[in-house]
Each structure stands twice: as structure tokens, then as C-alpha cells.
Copies of this chain bind each other. A is one copy, B any other.
Amino acid sequence: MNTRSGVASYTPVPCETACASCDVRALSLCAALRQDDLSVMERVSTVRNLLPDEILIHEGDPARRVYTVTKGMMRLSTILADGRRQITGFLMPGDFLGLADEETTSATVEAVTHSTLCAFARADMNRLLHDHPPLQARLMQFTRAALREARDGQIMLGRLAPVEKLSSFLLMMSTRMEARGLPANPVPIPMSRTDIADFLGLTVETVSRSFTKLRNQQLIRLPDAHHVDIVDRRALAAVAGIDQA
């Protein structure tokens, strides 16, 4: 289970740490830095690899590090005393991890798929932010965007019906793929039905039924459980309540 793949320390050729050849650089926080400033950042960064379901952060842990996701997918979640879980967001390559917290982490963070992250000690990051105003500005933008996303989440959770929630979710996933220059149409859905349920505030069964409904209405096709082919984007958006683009 937690078979550490032994890649915690640098590989001989630090391909991932080479910011210059980083494929999420344009999307990530680092885009705010010029080539030469990038090396300053590179010097204080370490790479972290995670296996599926491996836990990176336990809610309540001290917030010692911040990260940029470079590969894979992460989930942010909170678990109530009786085991109920709410997933508050998924992180994809380019996303920043650590926007909400100052001292203590406010969510558990786990890998959905095999993931790679670029880690920074919070103190180092603070110094970088202080020395590079554009970096600070970009972090602010990221935080604002995360706030808007969380509020969209509130709208979805509070006022959408199950099929609407799922439609909204699928469109969001598609949009995020597109934003990363990846194919947006057959959307890969790496997370389990349980994860989707805990994100949408539903049960697994209801999620499954909602998938079936959308399939029966010819709005989507399901090549397999983890790939959704959006057949009628417009109609899907209409079902979603036309929130998302």
C-alpha cells in the first residue's frame, strides 16, 4: 500500500526540477518569473512523487510546505467525526497547493493518480514572494481564482440537483483539460465514483444513476467508467444550469 517508490530524493538527472523544461511552467505560479529568477526558485525546490491514494497532508498538520502540481491529480478533502467526507477540490498540473493555509493545514491532501509535485519550504516561498513582486501578484490571482471556484462549489452543492451537479462537474473537468492544452472532448475521469460523490455531496449510487441518465439522454457516452465522451456539450451545459462555460 504505502510502497514508497523511493523517488523522494532527487533522481540522478533531475528532469522534473529543470524549470526551464517544465511543461506546466506557463500555467503555474512560476510563470511570473523571468528565466534567470527561475533558477533561484529551482534551487529551493524539491520533487515529490506520490502513488495513487498516497497521503501528502493530513488536515491539522503544520503547513510547512507549499507545492505546485506538475503531474497527476490531487484531491483536497475534509472528513467529519463520523466518517462523512467532503472533497472541496481537485488539483491538476499547474495548480498551486497551499493557498488557503497559514499555520495549520485545513484539508487533507491525497493523490488521486500517480502524481508529481514541486515542493517549497514555506519560509523559502515567503522569501521568494518578498523578493519578486510579480510572483506575489500571481499568487494573489491564484488565491482569488480558488475563492471563486470554492464559491462556485457552494452554488453547485447548495442548489443543483444530482444530474445538474454531475453535468457541471463534467464540464468543469473538460474546461480544465482544455485550459491545459489537453484534449477536452473525451474527458478522462481519473477519480473513483466515490470521490465524485464526495465532491458533489451525493452518494455513489446517485452519481452512478446520474451518469446513466446523461448517457440515456445521449448527452454523453461512457467508453469506460473513467472516460466521458461529451456528445452534446450545449445540452449538457443547459442541464448544468449554464454556470460553466
Residue numbers of A with Cβ under 8 A of B are: 76, 78, 80-82, 84-86, 88-89, 99-102, 106-107, 136, 139-141, 143-144, 146-148, 150-151, 153-155, 157-159, 198-201, 241-243
* The residue from B76, B78, B141, B154 contacting A86, defined by CB atoms under 8 A apart: B154
Contact A151 B107, beta carbon cutoff 8 Å: yes
| B contact residues around A198 at 8 Å (CB) | 158
Question: Lowest 7 A-B CB distances belong to which pairs?
Answer: A158-B201, A150-B150, A157-B157, A86-B155, A86-B158, A88-B151, A100-B147
Return A90 CB to nearest CB of chain B, in Å. Answer: 13
Q: Say how many copies of this protein the assembly contains.
A: 2
Contact A100 B140, beta carbon cutoff 8 Å: no
* The residue from B80, B100, B106, B157 contacting A201, defined by CB atoms under 8 A apart: B157
Q: A80-B159, A153-B154, A158-B198 are in contact. List 18 more A-B contacts (CB 8 A).
A: A76-B151, A78-B151, A80-B155, A80-B241, A82-B241, A86-B154, A86-B155, A88-B155, A100-B148, A101-B144, A101-B148, A106-B148, A140-B140, A150-B150, A151-B153, A157-B201, A158-B199, A158-B200
| B contact residues around A199 at 8 Å (CB) | 158
Q: Knowing A143-B143, A242-B81 are in contact, say whether A154-B102 is a contact too (CB < 8 A).
A: no
A88 to B140, CA, bound (A): 20
A84 to B161, CA, bound (A): 11
A158 to B81, CA, bound (A): 15
Contact A159 B84, beta carbon cutoff 8 Å: yes
A154 to B139, CA, bound (A): 22
Return A108 CB to nearest CB of chain B, in Å. Answer: 12
A118 to B73, CA, bound (A): 42
Q: Knowing A81-B242, A102-B144 are in contact, say whether A153-B150 is a contact too (CB < 8 A).
A: yes
Contact B99 A155, beta carbon cutoff 8 Å: no
Q: Knowing A84-B159, A242-B81 are in contact, say whether A143-B154 is a contact too (CB < 8 A).
A: no
